[in-house]
Structure 1
Amino acid sequence: MRIGQADIDRLEGAIAALRARDYREGGGSCRELLRVLEPYGAALRWGVMSEPLARRLAGVVADLHNLRGWTEFDSGRPVRAERHFRRALELATEAGADDLLANIRYRLGRMYLHHRTPAEALEQFRQGQLAARRGGRPLSQAILSANEAWAYALLGDVRQALDKLSLAPEQFADSVGDAVPSWSAFFTANDLAAMIGTVRTELARLVDVRHCREAIPALTEAIDGYGPDMPRSRSLTMIWLAVDHALEGDMDRAAEVGLAAMEIADGIRSARTRDRLKPLSESVRKRVGDINARDILDRIATFRASA
């Protein structure tokens, strides 16, 4: 079977469509569709094609595994996710796709962050930065710097967290006007604001509650900017905002934002939204004498049970 440009374009288009669906509806909405698409990508690689097309196809199939790993992670299946991320790394290396390598490292690191292993996450982000520099992509560097800051925040290293966080806006500004590949197109000014708020929230939880002062406006900016195509990001960010309000003792606002976040999350097939409620529960339990705190805890328990 001879493989041409159109065959690879079709596969790439299908991946882009499923990535958009993942943003809208969560990884559980497209995980099975990706599983069906995977043998098609593998079959194409057995076809006859030129060397440049073979390298491009290796990169596209790498991104298929990259997205498959992300949706498995988002669905609460980290072992399967890691297997796909590792395969994606092999194929992206074969393709010589440095920016894609950086993105895979970012996503693998995010999985480690989610499961609270920041040292392992940092190693992935550091390797990702090397690939991003080779690829000359400031946007990928910004994504990785922001996530390095998150890892340092989980380690309680305020200086390193804030140093890395200060790099991300500069790198993001350098990326304006660049052509953006689909795997990093999600990272807009909204996501940059969300990451600033996320890092400050983790520092508020783990080091000093005064970081809420910087977290709340950044998270609010991000939430206001998310459109209907990014409900998962909106819900996850709103949960962090509820955490900050709870840490500051504003339980009325924490309840309002937290309950609204759960309403959005109820329509998304994502285990991460359910998991993100754990730090909210921990923050709210410190104010358990407040009727709003008890209401939030009851709603979280109901949400988790229904999920």
Structure 2
Amino acid sequence: MRAALARHDIGRVYRLLGTVGVSQRRIAAMTGQNQAEVSEIVQGRQVQAYDLLARIADGLRVPRGHMGLAFTDTATRRLASSPRPHGTKDDDMERRGFLGLISKIVMGAALTPTELDLIAVAPGHPPIPERVGDTEVAQLRTLTSALRAYDLAHGGGSCRDAILAHVQWAESLLNSTYSDEVRPRLLSAVAEIKTLAGWTAHDLGLAGEARRYLGQAVRDTQEAGNPAHSAIVLFHLGRVPLDNGDPREALKFFQLGQIAAQDSRSSLAVAFLLANEAVAYAHQGDGRQAVTALRRAEDEFAHANLDDQHPEFTRFFDQIALDTAAARVHSQLGLGDPRHREEAISRLSRTLADMPSGHGRQRAFNLAWLATCTLADGDLATGVRIGNQALDAVREIKSTRLLHALEPLEVEAQRHRNNRDIRQLGHDVQVLRSAA
């Protein structure tokens, strides 16, 4: 427990409390959090904000020093007071004292609580600009893009706190003043970060929270008058029930997205939604509808002029994304129909070869599907090799959704449990999935 506290591994702290009978509801009451937030942390969300760490320490009656926190009441009063002008006698004394403090740290000496107060920083929030223009909108989008890239590479649990903080900042901009020309661009930028917040919630298994953020994003894109962006959000909304075993409901969201895509007059948007409709049909076991929708998606994509498409779609849907959707269709159908396995293996192999760096989560998904299809196709040695690659990739990603997606691989491994290597692979999958 002490080691977990020291490295701010609050998820492990909460799990250890659970092993001794402390419920998540009780933890929430002690720390002033809601139960959904506690569940997020248990499932991998990192806690980085000082004020939340301090609240957790106080709620659990843990000395703040065990967590490297030394923001005492004395420090609060000191930091709340007016800063002294640079160059005054008091400032010179503090700087000399600070140099001595740093010397102690470098020499490995322990600091007293009073000394720790000298390097404490009061938590705060950046001021909201009086007027929001294109510069602020561009800054908002730039940070969202960086967070999206981190999510793609490492999973939703790797950057959740930063995304939620960014959502708060983005929403605060809507309370500022801006021109009528800037308003739709600002709404669209806010919708982007809310979509990412919803997607990372989904990635951590928080379906209710995902729906709420994505619902807000639909509203914002509609107010912005951006049907192409609405189509993207509706795709994300459809993925929530799809990945939770309800392809019928997913189809309804994808079809709503199709309406928005048609309104945007973007063939790329239409292809994007059709490809995901194909995935939903495959999960329903409707091979005919799935293949038909997939062919339509490929036709629309072939006729799309990517240079003329809405920028939101060019970030989400390219040839690799289309091949990945097709691979998922054939992988799902291949579980019950061997005729689809060869195509699934071919598509998955191609996407893995072409996938750029920085797509760690999708690479892990594709490896897991490829291992499952390869085992089902009877190439056991290759299936085991790819399966172990998949597990190595999964271990690097903080995604509950990815752990759940290993179920078909576990089932397929069970079918070949007389093979020692496959039995070990199945055991490793089971152990990994138990963390979900």
Map Cα deviations across residues 63-83 of structure 1 (whole Å, 9 max, x no partner). Answer: 111110001111221111111
Instruction: Find out whether 1:28 has 2:157 as its counterpart.
Output: yes
Question: 1:16·1:182 contact (CA, 8 Å) conserved in 2?
Answer: no
Cα distance in structure 2, aligned partners of 1:85 and 1:272? 17
Question: 1:59·1:95 contact (CA, 8 Å) conserved in 2?
Answer: yes
Q: Which residue of 2 aligns with 1:91?
A: 220
My pick for the range that moved more, 227-236 or 119-128, is 227-236
Map Cα deviations across residues 93-118 of structure 1 (whole Å, 9 max, x no partner). Answer: 11111111000111111111111100
What letter matches 1:50 in structure 2?
S
Instruction: Find out whether 1:200 has 2:333 as its counterpart.
Output: no
What letter matches 2:168 in structure 1?
P
TM-score by length of 1: 0.95
Moved over 4 A (4+): none
Map Cα deviations across residues 130-168 of structure 1 (whole Å, 9 max, x no partner). Answer: 111111222222221111011111111111110001012
Secondary structure at 1:185 match in 2: helix
Cα distance in structure 2, aligned partners of 1:183 and 1:5? 21
What letter matches 2:386 in structure 1?
V
Map Cα deviations across residues 232-284 of structure 1 (whole Å, 9 max, x no partner). Answer: 11110111111111211222111111110111121111112211110111122
What letter matches 1:228 in structure 2?
S
Cα distance in structure 2, aligned partners of 1:292 and 1:142? 41
Q: Which residue of 1 aligns with 2:291?
A: 162
What letter matches 2:308 in structure 1?
D
Cα distance in structure 2, aligned partners of 1:114 and 1:306? 18
Cα distance in structure 1, aligned partners of 2:317 and 2:362? 11
Q: Which residue of 2 aligns with 1:280?
A: 409
Q: CA RMSD in A?
A: 1.5
What letter matches 1:199 in structure 2?
V
Cα distance in structure 2, aligned partners of 1:31 and 1:119? 29
Matches within 5 A, 1:165-204: 165-175=294-304, 176-179=306-309, 181-182=311-312, 184-204=314-334
CA shift at 1:32, angstroms?
0.8
Secondary structure at 1:51 match in 2: coil
Map Cα deviations across residues 160-214 of structure 1 (whole Å, 9 max, x no partner). Answer: 1100010122222233333552565132212211211110111111x41221011
Instruction: Find out whether 1:108 has 2:204 as its counterpart.
Output: no
Structure scoring higher RCO (CA < 8 A, sep ≥ 6) equals: 1
Instruction: Find out whether 1:127 has 2:244 as its counterpart.
Output: no
Greater gyration radius: 2
Gaps of 5+ in 1: none
What letter matches 1:290 in structure 2?
N
Q: Which residue of 2 aligns with 1:40?
A: 169
Secondary structure at 2:321 match in 1: helix
Question: 1:140·1:184 contact (CA, 8 Å) conserved in 2?
Answer: no
Gaps of 5+ in 2: 1-129
Q: Which residue of 2 aligns with 1:152?
A: 281
Identity %: 32
Cα distance in structure 2, aligned partners of 1:180 and 1:219? 27
Which residue of the other structure, out of 247, 253, 258, is the alignment partner of 1:118?
A: 247
Q: Which residue of 2 aligns with 1:69?
A: 198
Cα distance in structure 2, aligned partners of 1:290 and 1:5? 61
Question: 1:103·1:184 contact (CA, 8 Å) conserved in 2?
Answer: no
Alpha-carbon distance change, 54 to 180 in structure 1, aligned in 2, over 3 angstroms: closer
Cα distance in structure 2, aligned partners of 1:180 and 1:50? 23
**Structure with the higher fraction of residues in helix conformation:** 1
Which residue of the other structure, out of 79, 85, 95, is the alignment partner of 2:208?
A: 79
What letter matches 1:235 in structure 2?
A
CA shift at 1:306, angstroms?
5.6
Which residue of the other structure, out of 338, 341, 360, is the alignment partner of 1:231?
A: 360
What letter matches 2:232 in structure 1?
N
Question: 1:249·1:287 contact (CA, 8 Å) conserved in 2?
Answer: no
Question: 1:251·1:292 contact (CA, 8 Å) conserved in 2?
Answer: no
CA shift at 1:61, angstroms?
0.9
Map Cα deviations across residues 30-62 of structure 1 (whole Å, 9 max, x no partner). Answer: 211111111211111111111121121111111
Q: State how many pairs are aligned.
A: 306
Cα distance in structure 2, aligned partners of 1:306 and 1:76? 12
CA shift at 1:3, angstroms?
1.5
TM-score by length of 2: 0.68
Cα distance in structure 1, aligned partners of 2:371 and 2:310? 32
Which residue of the other structure, out of 383, 388, 392, is the alignment partner of 1:254?
A: 383
Secondary structure at 1:119 match in 2: helix
Question: 1:110·1:121 contact (CA, 8 Å) conserved in 2?
Answer: yes
Q: Which residue of 2 aligns with 1:304?
A: 433
Cα distance in structure 1, aligned partners of 2:207 and 2:311? 25
